[in-house]
């Protein structure tokens, strides 16, 4: 691949990841909400953890 194609692909990937991160963060109204969501996801993955 040409160097410019790799750069263009990296830019598009970075933009998609950035947009996904913004959408994920907007689903949680506060920092406390983000913590609760992460905690909930961890409990779902391992409900027997202390």
Q: What is the pLDDT of residue 50?
A: 57
Query: Residue 33 domain-assigned?
Result: yes
Number of domains in the chain: 1
CA distance 41 to 43: 5
What is the predicted pLDDT for the residue at 12? 94
Within its chain, how far is the Cα of 27 from the centroid?
A: 11
How far is residue 25's CA from residue 31's CA, in Å, rounded to a whole number?
9
Q: Is residue 18 part of a domain?
A: yes
Question: Domain range spanning residue 34?
Answer: 3-44
Judge whether 10 lies within some domain.
yes
Q: Would you say residue 50 lies in a domain?
A: no
pLDDT per residue over 3-49, tens digit each? 788 889 999 999 999 998 888 777 656 667 777 878 888 888 876 76
Task: Judge if pTM exceeds 0.75.
Answer: no
Residue 49: inside a domain: no
Domain assignment present for 15: yes
């Amino acid at each position: 691949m040409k160097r410019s194609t790799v750069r263009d692909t990296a830019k598009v990937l970075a933009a998609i990841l950035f947009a996904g991160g913004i959408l994920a963060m907007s689903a949680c109204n506060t920092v406390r909400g983000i913590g609760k969501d992460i905690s909930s996801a961890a409990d779902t993955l391992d409900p027997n953890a202390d």
